Structure 1
């Protein structure tokens, strides 16, 4: 999976789950201020990402620091890289 395919999968999964407008979904978009998500949505977001990519996400510091879509892209890319190496 290349980077654009990963981004598209993330955007499509989150847009469907949270009824987001694709035009609003940029790497700089703040999940809470720009996209209107809240802390409960963050829990659902973890589940959506786990289902989309088939890996488990522990509640760790990295997840709590996610604020933008770009943060999600980097987080998922790191998880996929770890998965490929193991």
Structure 2
């Protein structure tokens, strides 16, 4: 899966599961500042990532995630480890 495919998957999850307007979604969008995420939303997003990738995200892997671009990088790293 390429980073662009990961981004598109995340974008789809954010629109469908979190009711976020597509216009608000970009790689630079801050999950907490721009998209009003809280810690529960972050856990939900990690669970959605697990359902899409089949890979379990550890809490420490998601700790440094602030932007959608960060989330794409974490998923990319997770998938590249196989």
User: Offset at 1:7?
Assistant: 1.0
Contact 1:27–1:69 under 8 Å retained in 2: yes
Greater C-alpha radius of gyration:
1
**Structure 2-normalised TM-score?**
0.92
Q: How many pairs were matched up? A: 82
SS in 1 for 2:56: coil
1:64 aligns with 2:63: yes
The runs of at least 4 aligned residues of structure 1 exceeding 6 Å deviation read: none
Q: CA–CA distance in 2 between the matches of 1:32 and 1:12?
A: 18
Q: CA–CA distance in 1 between the matches of 2:3 and 2:63?
A: 23
Q: CA–CA distance in 2 between the matches of 1:52 and 1:78?
A: 15
**Structure 1-normalised TM-score?**
0.88
Contact 2:24–2:35 under 8 Å retained in 1: yes
Cross-structure match for 1:81: 80
Q: CA–CA distance in 2 between the matches of 1:76 and 1:68?
A: 13
SS in 2 for 1:66: coil
Cross-structure match for 2:24: 24
